[in-house]
Amino acid sequence: MKAILCHDYAPPEKLRFEDVPDPAAKDGQAIIAIKAAGVGFVDGLLVQGLYQVKIPLPFIPGTEFSGIVESVGAGVKDLKPGDRVLGSAMGGACAEKIAVPAASCVPIPDNLDFAPAAGIIISYCTALYGLRACANAKGGETLLVLGAAGGVGSAAIQLAKAMGLSVIAAASSEEKRNTARTLGADHTVDYTKEDWRSDLKELTGGKGVDLVYDPVGGPISEAALRSLAPGGRHLVVGFAAGDIPRIPLNLPLLKRCSVVGVDWGGFARAEPQNAAPFMRDLMAMIAKGKLKPEGFALYPMAEAGRALSDIAARKALGKVVLTND
């Protein structure tokens, strides 16, 4: 089979698309013929050896996939060849096939295609976990989404609207703000403007926002925190800007607000039994038509290096998905 190979911790441009042996199913495993693989900012860090977890070289990157069950190992009863499934793994998804524990695969709703199915696991579960469990978001509250046109931000917009929140999307270009509006944002702001906080103040009638969804970091984080209403919640999702902000701790004190870390991956690994309902609820929302994931940037699997470079440069609009067409 063909797969993307990372031979050295290096920039994504060094990734190669080459022949590797087909995987074989062990007991309890399934072989999935991959139709699409979702990638994000973390995948770019992994191939450069910059993430807190290092995968031994050489390895196949990619942590999210969708596809068709090709075969199953001994003891597998809940899957059969031909089933449409999605799942995640710590590497291996940027390939034509992958061997994974059958229990980790989730059936894809009939109304969801392979490309969006590959792109929802991390971004959408992170957003659902962050808004529901970490922030206890309530319908009618106002959410500010930073980096709103990226894969993480676009998922937050769509889930927030499905939960009845009012969304202000912050992005650095008119193209990105238009993308956010297409995804359902009620308002947009340009956070490259020096006085962008005054726009937030006007949009909220001087009250401030109830929630901040922050996958960006850098200097914009403190400005967003200062724009919270009293009792607000600032959700720390990631640091796509590259800099980890140093927030003055008098701000949460004076605003009586919370700064909450949102680590879906860590939660899912530590409490798999409590993480499973989030995935089930997400699939149910999609199956019932309450949520229609959209806003994906598609690349051929062979161009994984270019895709990861675009993510790092913040050029990609929406969640990036690699396809085996």
Q: Which DSSP letter does residue 103 get?
A: G
Confidence grade of residue 188 (pLDDT, cut at 50, 70, 90): very high
pLDDT reading at 27 higher than 90: yes
Query: Average pLDDT, stretch 313-322?
Result: 89
CA quadruple 103, 238, 254, 128: dihedral, nearest 10: -30
Tens of pLDDT along 120-141?
989 999 999 999 999 999 999 9
Helix or strand run (H / E) with residue 176: helix 174-182
Confidence grade of residue 273 (pLDDT, cut at 50, 70, 90): confident
Instruction: Classify residue 278: in a domain, yes or no.
Output: no
CATH number at residue 115: 3.90.180.10
pLDDT of residue 7: 97
Q: Which two tokens stand for residue 105?
A: 């695969």
Identify the three-state secondary structure at position 259.
Answer: strand
Query: Average pLDDT, stretch 190-219?
Result: 95
pLDDT of residue 325: 82
Same domain for 111 and 201?
no
**Average pLDDT for the chain:** 94
Same domain for 114 and 147?
no
pLDDT of residue 241: 82
| Percent of the chain whose predicted confidence (pLDDT) is above 90 | 84
Q: Select from 217, 245, 265 the last residue of a domain.
A: 265
Largest CA distance in the chain: 62
Same domain for 137 and 186?
yes
**Structural domain range at position 54:** 2-120+293-323
pLDDT of residue 100: 94
Same domain for 243 and 134?
yes
Query: Average pLDDT, stretch 10-30?
Result: 96
Q: How many CB atoms lie within 10 A of CB 21?
A: 7
Same domain for 140 and 261?
yes
Same domain for 107 and 174?
no
Rounded CA-CA distance 169/225 in Å is 15
| Percent of the chain whose predicted confidence (pLDDT) is above 70 | 100
Rounded CA-CA distance 106/87 in Å is 6
pTM for this model (two decimals): 0.86
CATH number at residue 198: 3.40.50.720
Query: Does residue 114 contact residue 87 with C-beta atoms inside 8 Å?
Result: no
pLDDT of residue 146: 97
pLDDT of residue 216: 94
Tens of pLDDT along 29-77?
999 999 999 999 889 999 999 988 899 999 999 999 999 999 999 999 9
- Give the 3-state secondary structure of 46-65: HHCCCCCCCCCCCECCCCEE
Q: Which range among 114-128, 160-174, 243-257, 266-280 shows the weakest confidence by mean pLDDT?
A: 266-280
Tens of pLDDT along 51-60?
888 999 999 9
pLDDT of residue 141: 97
**Structural domain count of the chain:** 2
Cα dist. 251→11, 141, 143, 209 in Å?
A: 37, 21, 19, 15
Instruction: Classify residue 305: in a domain, yes or no.
Output: yes
Amino acid at position 284, single letter:
A
Same domain for 92 and 221?
no
Q: How many CB atoms lie within 10 A of CB 58?
A: 11
Cis peptide bond prior to 58, omega within 30° of 0: yes
Same domain for 181 and 243?
yes
Strands in the chain per DSSP E: 2-5, 16-19, 29-39, 64-72, 84-88, 97-101, 106-107, 142-145, 166-171, 187-190, 209-214, 228-236, 258-261, 296-300, 319-323
Instruction: Classify residue 284: in a domain, yes or no.
Output: no
Instruction: Classify residue 227: in a domain, yes or no.
Output: yes
pLDDT reading at 317 higher than 90: no
Instruction: Classify residue 102: in a domain, yes or no.
Output: yes
Q: How many alpha carbons fall within 13 Å on the CB side of residue 255?
A: 25
